[in-house]
Amino acid sequence: MVKTFTYALISLVLLAGCSNHKENPEKGKAQNKTEKKDNSLVEYFSKDSSYSISFPENWEVKKGRQSFQLMALTPLADSTDKFREDIIVFREKFPKDVKDLDGYIDYTKKKISKLLKDYKDGESGKANINGLSGRWFEYSFTLNKNIKNKCLAYVYDKDKDAYVVLASALDTTYDSFKPLFERIDSTFKINRK
C-alpha cells in the first residue's frame, strides 16, 4: 500500500527532473511554459473512466504507466531548460491499518520523508471538488545534483480509495506554477458510479 504514491514520486523525479527530454517542437517561438495565451485546457480520462482532469493543450500527456494513471509534463521552454514541471494523477487503496484521509496522508508523508533527501513539510489545508472533501499539502526535497524541488499534492477519498493529483516544480519556479497547478486540480472530477 502507498506503493503507488512512492512509485509516482520516483516517476516524477525520473521523468521530469533527471531524464533526457524530447526537444520542444515549439522551440524558438515565444512560448509561455505554463500554458497558452488562450488558456485552453484539454480533458483527459483515466483508463477506466473513473476520473478526469484537464491539462494545458501544449503539455505532453502520458497514460497508463505502472506508477501513475496520467502524467502531464510541461514543454521545455528552450534548449537551456533542463526540468519539465509535471502533474501525476493516480488512485490507490488505503493501507489496511489506515482509517481515513488524514491517516492516509500521515502514512504517506512518513514513507516519502524516508525516501527523499532534505524532505520538508510545507503548508497544508482542506480541499473540495464536486462535493467531495479532501486535503492538500506541500513538501520540498532535494534531487540528486542538489536540484531543489517543491510539490503540491491534492488527495481525495472516495470509499477508502485515495485519488491523488501530485504536481512538481523546481523550488525557483514553484510559485509561478502554483496558480496553474491549482487551476488544473479544480478540473479534477471523480466519476461516481
* 129-156 pLDDT per residue, tens: 877 889 999 999 998 778 899 999 999 9
Q: Does the structure show a pLDDT above 50 at 26? A: no
The pTM score is 0.82
Instruction: Identify which has the larger pLDDT, 26 or 170.
Output: 170
Which CATH number describes the domain made up of 3-21+30-190?
A: 3.40.1000.10
The maximal CA–CA distance of the chain, rounded, in angstroms, is 52
Helices (H), the chain: 3-11, 101-115, 174-186
- CA quadruple 13, 166, 89, 143: dihedral, nearest 10: 0
Q: Which residue has the cell 512538481?
A: 168
Separation between Cα atoms, residue 182 and residue 6, nearest integer Å: 22
| Backbone angles phi and psi of 113, in degrees to 5 | -65, -25
